Structure 1
Amino acid sequence: MATTLDENDIEKLFSGAPQFYCRAESHFPGAPHPSVAFPFDEEVEIRDLSDHVQIEDKAWSGVTAWPHLTRDLNHDAAARKSAESRTKAHFHVRCRERPNMLSMQGLEKGTMGFQAALELPVGDSLEEEQFGFESVGTKAKAIIDARARMLAHSGWLRRLPEPEIMHRLERNGEIYRNNDMRKRPSVETYNDLFHSFMRPCATPLDKQDHYSLINQINALVKCLATANVWIDLSRVEWRIRLGQVLWGQSGGDELDDATEIQDAASASERAEEKYWLLMQVLVSTELLIRLDAITEGEANGVEYFRPVDGLYFERQANQSVKWSILLARSWLDNIELVKEEAGPGEQADPVKQNGGWLASLVSKMSLKHSDESLKPGYHYTIKGRNGHRQVDGLTHFARKIHWPGIDAYESRISVNAENTGDLTPTTLSTPGTLHSVATTGSSYFGAWDVTSHHGQHHHAQKVQAQRRKMAAALHASGWLSKSYIFALMLPGEALSHFLMSTLLENDQEAMGTLGSFANLCGGFVYRGKSFWSTSCIVGRVLAAGVGAAECMGWISTDILPDSTSDGWLNIEAEDVPDDLQRLGKKARIWGKKRIERDSYILGDGDESNLEPGDFTMPHENNYEQRPAAAAIELRSFKLLRSVEAVHPSPLSEFTGTPLTESTAAPDLPSYPAKLIFSVTIGGARSEDFTFPLTYDISFVTAHPCSPSRKVRFVKSPSSPTIQQIDVSGKNMLGSTSRSVYRAGHPLHKSYHYSVVHISELIKKRGHPLIDLLGPSPHKNPKANDNRVLVIDCITNYAEPPPPSPVLTRVESGGSASLPSFERRGSLPDKMHLECRRRQFGSDMEILVRALCSQMGWNALISRRKRGCLACAIREACALGWRVIVRVE
């Protein structure tokens, strides 16, 4: 065959190899969009390879705005029916959360995917921190003035009485399900919108039909785009706090803030905030049902949107407008408003006698108003359309994270769900009639942003952080539970907070043990297990152990901190210096061409003159002398002396997020963490090694690849360089003394990597990464340094006997001695075998992650037989990372 490789040869050579891209999309503002593709393959089993897990439950679908399917469609008839009902044409708003929440849970526990890793430094919460925002809750003069102009005679809106808002919301829900707006005369829909609700202030786009849906849409978009009037849901904090504005009550569901967001001074001002939120929902639903009507018409061959109309819409509809449309979709899909007449002698307190915790979500506040259109004794009740689905999703989450006492918990929830019949959690009220229901004892703090670093003033340090930290005060049937049960959620990180909060708020035993204050981005110990947010470095490290479980942003493990009782924990870890230099506009994601060039399958080679000798077959076991076997056992997980005990800084870790300054956040000390391992190398005496979890590093699952079936590589046993390539995939080239490989993809010689065995790395811990990478191959100091370190955790690793997935600590005699760990097989045989079959993990994998945290190395986790080393090296170069952990 020819000595050079042509285009057809290259396609066969790299069949099944992922290629990494980062492209800007004009209709999505902000950072470019990272993606992974297989351009040489059309087979579904290759094209659909993914580095992240699929959303398992329809109840969790609100976590993302990206199109997706949930796993429960395979076995859940209700979920399948719900998906089929959405197949009709509907408007698809071009708005996405960042980072992509689909990519936030990688195939390896405690990791994320390629896309999330690149998007995290430009995430929505970081934009909020960097640029700040004017909060509606601040009651700044600009907000007061803007709202006054909105309701003035020259403004967009008339001030509707509350009953009229409720009536229109109720009616919009009915229209949404049977949208006939396109078929109705345009004059009718125009008059309905402008003669009672809005004022026609916009210049008509459609000159031929002054009353057209296009002109109505234009007016609604302009109204929603008005600055300083509406809650800006492009801000992460407002997405989380949406339910607090709707269901928060004076004296109960309150939030605290020491920064931008302040509480209203009185109940009437709190009700005013709720009024404006409901107005925002109303305007957004009016817009969405018209956009859906036009989209359905387009699908049926009736053209409504001219190209110029679409262009105008994209220009006018800023991010705040698009997020309001997402809010409208969530409301219309999940919320139903019902006008009900109060029964004879019905009390203001609506908590049902037989309802259990689901019924306790009812907080019925009779809607009384001077307006005669709503007689005294009527009220509007919010009903969740998918309450049972959300409850099922909650128990699914609890089972996935191995919640203690889950059988009793699930049984209790099922009984309560049956008792409540239709889930009817809350009734809206008008100003002046607010009062709390089912609030007990201490004040309900709400939520805090606890993103900070010790030793600096908290206002100055909120700015630089890749991961937003949040703490909250829980209370039975609080607004966090309501946000989840009603499924009134917007895409982003909020769902992980809502799930754990709802689980805890409705487990009386857990609340009694843990208390009402929750560090939702830290962790807690409860009934012999520890639970950690994936926002916490401890969770991401311990996730690599046997028996660890991960679900929707939470990790559970049987590994417990030494000498720690049940309760919440906050872990102190430093941000990686390189990460701090790559935030916002300096993030790697903006280097679109560089990302693609640094990970290109042909490296820096000349495409017209490529030879087999330009490629190598990288392997993790290329050693002149085979390294000694390493046996590794986790001995202890310790929390060190709290940072506050060394450097007192009361409450400096907590920056409040809403409503009253009078409520202070409780003190939650931060503890540095360390792991202690017993390591035996080559049969020598075991030695203890300590690894402090110093840096808040990240892990990414290396993207899976599929070995090419169209080619075979032949190389000399003494060299990784490919000598010959058989692109037919059939013939065995060369003599029998040569090795034939089909287990992976080749790597161009322009990529440079060094392999270090885990036993050697333990001895060299503390050495800077630059020393481990070896000498630079480039004479020019300005040349791109693409050296990568591969940590070999496979070769000659001494596996311990197969354990049960359960790991418990056995206390040794004295308090000064190290606790040891005992593996025990406490699960039923069938469950035990299933866990063994499906789970990866070992103490060695925990150790290598802990070592990376100690050194501040972000790392790619590459599992053999899921992906080859060559593809992992190229992905590391795409991310700009230097470390690959290669595991069995």
Structure 2
Amino acid sequence: MSEPKKKGLLSGLMRRLSNAQGSGKLVKDPPSRRASEGDIPVRRHRSDRPDVINSRRRPRRPDPRDSKGKGREQPNGHRYEPAPLSEWPPSGISKEEQLTLGHAMELISRGVPAHKGHKRPIPHASDHYYGLYTTTAGNHGDDNDTVNQHDAMTQLTTLSIQGFNQPKYPWETLEQPSLAFGFGGRPGTITLNHWANIFSAIPPPIALRDPGVVPREVDLGSIFERLQDLEAGLEDGNDEVLYRLYKRFLKDPDKLFSPHKTMEKQITDLVMCLSSPDWIDFSNPKNQVVTKFIYDTGPENQQQYHKFFYQLLLSLELELRINSKKHQDPAKERLVAQIPPRIQWNLALARRWRDFVRIEDYGEEPDQIKLRFKMRRRQVSMLKRFAQMMKWPNLADTISELKQRDNEGTLMIVSSHAMAFFSGLVLPGPTFPFLIMNSLIDIDPDKATDNLALLTHLHPHCGFQYRNSYTYWRSACIVGKVLAPTCHEIAGWVGPARPTKDLGRSQIARIRSKKPRQNILTPEDVTSMSDRSDPLGPRSEIYPVGDYDLLTPDTDDIVDTVLLEQVILKEATDKQDSGPQWFDASIQFAIDGVSWPLHLTFDVSFINAWPCSDGPHPLFFDYVYTPRKVDELVDILDWGKPNCRERSFRSTPAGGSKSPEFEPIVGGDDAERVLVVEAFGSSDNEVLARAWCSHWGLSAVVADIGRTCMACAIREAYAATLTVVILVEDQPGDAE
């Protein structure tokens, strides 16, 4: 632990010991929660705050909550619910008073989100590799920091490893970071869990060797015959029937002396067979648009077509055996957790096929295969809604083309991306946003969309302009993250955003950005998260009332002098390849009539704050912060660094003109101090705050003050080791 964090731990504890000694009693942390210098980093002392008076501990005044605690039954059958705080100290409590743990939790911690970090091992990997996650509880409600999955159209972006419809924890999904726990509730944001997961240490793919179990030569008709049989499920009640797997598709290496008739051996053999490097590796992002292997049914693609469906069949045989009724749920969970990642992706494809596709007819040739896609009508409605919410420039003609192709049954032949989207054969992860957008582009009859043909999930930091009308940006792209407050975010796309003169009428742009040098989250930061963001501060037996403040920002004091002028894209001539053009992005603002360009240099993240309840909540004095109005941001340089300065304008002696001077910000060199940006009012204010963060390489917590109080937002910044909080206030109708 660094020396400053050790001092922060000692300052909080010693201050409370001093108060306790003043009353003649030495207080120590409970053994189970006592902090040692080597494990729990805590906030530093805020030296500019006067110490609480060291007096003898006074008896606490009678309070109705002592006998009528929150949630307790009253004689009349009602429950007592304390009102949210409107002042600090609360009425009837002195600033010099010292609270017990129970009373402090009731006054300060009630309704506060409690963040907990998790460091989890990765199967088949050494201790050098791990996954980092967070879970949050304690806000006394069902609300959370994630986007509504249905409204965001992200139903196909995630998949539970265990086969549940909705995973309970972020480590239960195949794709990592987990997209079920990834998109933040505000446009252009991510969740605290996603932020932690970015810093996981993931092992490289394991090199495959000769599996020892080989498949038999099988014609395409036999493959589809078995695929159709499996639509009714697996015949897992008869070992002889199960053993037909070897008679038709696999070679049993122990056929003569010990045939593999048990389901456990068959599962092992299928895993070994699918581990062969001869199969398609669906864990590789290049192969995750799976329909590209079957879109072309011509003679030149026949071998690939055959391999894909043979691999799908063996994956289905494995998936159905794992989920057999003979296996109890705990046994399934243990088994699935041990299956190599590459095989997990095969199981994901098998599950998508089993859920969404049926075989109507088949033969020996690919052009004789006829499939029925159960998801088609739902996907047609989804694409129509997506186009409408994105205000697609050629909307009328595109919707007309969509309806005509749907009636003709020709949607699947538009492109491999459209085939994947309409069929539901979508692997979890980052491909879905490109499948839905490319399906829209491919169905649009306008020839201008030909210029957008190279849009791919392999280049996620991108966007495009269409018909000089609007631009659209991926949520993963820094331009999309910054412009998001002025747009919708749907299915991983931010738009419609303002056009730019720096792109052609219809053109793709890849955006160059750097990784921030700051905001690094370590495994120790994650595992100590709950202690570093505890609303009470270091645990003790007494909690002086004077150690806390109630923060209530003035949401009526709105800055109305910020205007987003233009998005500027400059061609990056030193970074080009065979793909779409690379650009450096910046955004120009008018602030009180003066133009300010901010370069989107760093690919920072914006974390959507967890909502709290019963707020506002008091803030412990060791959580240090500096408030600023959004229009003052451009005067702040190098926030959080030793040379942190703020520009000021002073009159010169000559004749009253103003020249800039730079002064150190009080406490600004504190590496843990949080800059709280009040960006209430116009959405351009929030865009300015986000652009400033990208300019300096500072990720931030974004909090709607109507859902998350200022104190809880600051504590979440400490939990995430971030030093910027952006406060906004959504008004009714903002999302329309």
Assess same fold via TM > 0.5: yes
Paired letter, 2:116: Y
- Offset of 1:790 from its aligned partner? 0.8
Q: 1:244-643 to 2 correspondence within 5 Å?
A: 244-248=292-296, 271-294=302-325, 304-305=327-328, 313-314=335-336, 317-340=339-362, 367=365, 379-420=368-409, 425=412, 477-509=414-446, 511-512=448-449, 514-518=451-455, 521=460, 522-527=462-467, 528-545=469-486, 548-562=487-501, 564-578=503-517, 582=520, 588=522, 591-603=525-537, 605-620=538-553, 630-640=560-570, 642-643=571-572
- Offset of 1:510 from its aligned partner? 5.7
- The answer to whether the 8 A contact 2:411-2:419 is kept is no
Are residue 699 (structure 1) and residue 596 (structure 2) matched?
A: no
Q: Residues 589 and 107 (structure 1 numbering): CA distance in 2 closer, same or farther, change over 3 Å?
A: farther
Match of 1:216 in 2: 266
- Offset of 1:329 from its aligned partner? 0.3
Q: Residues 338 and 511 (structure 1 numbering): CA distance in 2 closer, same or farther, change over 3 Å?
A: farther
Are residue 186 (structure 1) and residue 280 (structure 2) matched?
A: no
- Offset of 1:629 from its aligned partner? 5.1
Are residue 65 (structure 1) and residue 175 (structure 2) matched?
A: no
Q: 1:194 is paired with a residue of what secondary structure?
A: helix
Q: Distance in 2 between matches of 1:57 and 1:248?
A: 33
Match of 1:806 in 2: none
Q: Distance in 1 between matches of 2:688 and 2:200?
A: 30
Paired letter, 1:696: D
Paired letter, 2:180: L
- The answer to whether the 8 A contact 1:65-1:95 is kept is yes
Match of 2:178 in 1: 100
- The answer to whether the 8 A contact 1:285-1:329 is kept is yes
Q: Distance in 2 between matches of 1:93 and 1:230?
A: 27
Q: Residue 625 of structure 2: which of 734, 750, 753 is its match? A: 753
Q: Residues 481 and 121 (structure 1 numbering): CA distance in 2 closer, same or farther, change over 3 Å?
A: farther
- Offset of 1:591 from its aligned partner? 4.2
Give the gaps of 5 or more residues in structure 1: 70-82, 135-141, 251-266, 298-303, 342-365, 369-377, 427-476, 652-664, 681-685, 708-742, 779-783, 800-840
Q: 1:652-801 to 2 correspondence within 5 Å?
A: 665-666=578-579, 668-680=580-592, 686-707=593-614, 743-765=615-637, 770=642, 771=644, 785-794=671-680
Q: Residues 635 and 317 (structure 1 numbering): CA distance in 2 closer, same or farther, change over 3 Å?
A: closer
Are residue 160 (structure 1) and residue 218 (structure 2) matched?
A: yes
Q: Residues 868 and 213 (structure 1 numbering): CA distance in 2 closer, same or farther, change over 3 Å?
A: same
- With the length of structure 1 as denominator, give the TM-score of the two structures: 0.61
- The answer to whether the 8 A contact 1:202-1:218 is kept is no
- Offset of 1:104 from its aligned partner? 3.5
- The answer to whether the 8 A contact 1:402-1:549 is kept is no
Match of 2:144 in 1: 50
Q: Distance in 2 between matches of 1:750 and 1:767?
A: 19
Q: Residues 202 and 487 (structure 1 numbering): CA distance in 2 closer, same or farther, change over 3 Å?
A: farther
Q: Distance in 2 between matches of 1:495 and 1:504?
A: 14
Are residue 7 (structure 1) and residue 102 (structure 2) matched?
A: yes
- The answer to whether the 8 A contact 2:379-2:422 is kept is yes
Q: Residue 228 of structure 1: which of 263, 271, 277 is its match? A: 277
Match of 2:733 in 1: none
Q: Distance in 2 between matches of 1:614 and 1:512?
A: 61
Note the alpha carbon deviations across 1:320-340, whole angstroms, 9 max, x for none.
222221111011112223335
Paired letter, 1:573: R
Q: Distance in 1 between matches of 2:631 and 2:171?
A: 52
- Offset of 1:885 from its aligned partner? 0.9
- The answer to whether the 8 A contact 2:608-2:701 is kept is yes
Q: 2:359 is paired with a residue of what secondary structure?
A: strand
Q: Residues 612 and 249 (structure 1 numbering): CA distance in 2 closer, same or farther, change over 3 Å?
A: farther
- Offset of 1:28 from its aligned partner? 6.8
Q: Distance in 2 between matches of 1:492 and 1:239?
A: 9
- With the length of structure 2 as denominator, give the TM-score of the two structures: 0.73
Match of 1:35 in 2: 134
Give the gaps of 5 or more residues in structure 2: 1-58, 61-97, 646-663, 730-736
- Offset of 1:119 from its aligned partner? 1.7
- The answer to whether the 8 A contact 1:753-1:788 is kept is yes
- The answer to whether the 8 A contact 1:758-1:793 is kept is yes
Match of 1:732 in 2: none
Match of 2:712 in 1: 871
Q: Residues 592 and 291 (structure 1 numbering): CA distance in 2 closer, same or farther, change over 3 Å?
A: same
Note the alpha carbon deviations across 1:396-429, whole angstroms, 9 max, x for none.
2212222124344224322331232xx7847xxx
Q: Distance in 2 between matches of 1:513 and 1:121?
A: 38
Q: Residue 852 of structure 1: which of 671, 693, 709 is its match? A: 693
- Offset of 1:515 from its aligned partner? 4.7
Q: Distance in 1 between matches of 2:177 and 2:333?
A: 26
- The answer to whether the 8 A contact 1:632-1:678 is kept is yes
- The answer to whether the 8 A contact 2:132-2:199 is kept is no
- Offset of 1:98 from its aligned partner? 0.9
Q: Distance in 2 between matches of 1:193 and 1:93?
A: 33
Q: Distance in 2 between matches of 1:536 and 1:158?
A: 46
Match of 1:885 in 2: 726
The total of aligned residue pairs comes to 603
Q: Residues 109 and 638 (structure 1 numbering): CA distance in 2 closer, same or farther, change over 3 Å?
A: same
Q: 2:625 is paired with a residue of what secondary structure?
A: strand
Q: Distance in 2 between matches of 1:552 and 1:159?
A: 42
Note the alpha carbon deviations across 1:630-675, whole angstroms, 9 max, x for none.
51112232223x221xx4x552xxxxxxxxxxxxx35x33222222
Q: Distance in 1 between matches of 2:267 and 2:726?
A: 53
- Offset of 1:19 from its aligned partner? 1.3
Paired letter, 1:120: I
Q: Distance in 1 between matches of 2:676 and 2:337?
A: 47
Q: 1:132-147 to 2 correspondence within 5 Å?
A: 146=210
Question: Aligned Cα RMSD in Å?
Answer: 3.8
- Offset of 1:367 from its aligned partner? 0.6
Are residue 110 (structure 1) and residue 110 (structure 2) matched?
A: no
Q: Distance in 1 between matches of 2:318 and 2:162?
A: 24
Q: Residues 118 and 40 (structure 1 numbering): CA distance in 2 closer, same or farther, change over 3 Å?
A: closer
Q: Distance in 2 between matches of 1:168 and 1:115?
A: 42
- The answer to whether the 8 A contact 1:186-1:211 is kept is yes
Q: 2:306 is paired with a residue of what secondary structure?
A: helix
Match of 1:654 in 2: none
- Offset of 1:540 from its aligned partner? 1.4
- The answer to whether the 8 A contact 2:119-2:527 is kept is no
Percent same amino acid among aligned pairs? 22
- The answer to whether the 8 A contact 2:360-2:370 is kept is yes
Q: Residue 170 of structure 1: which of 228, 233, 246 is its match? A: 228
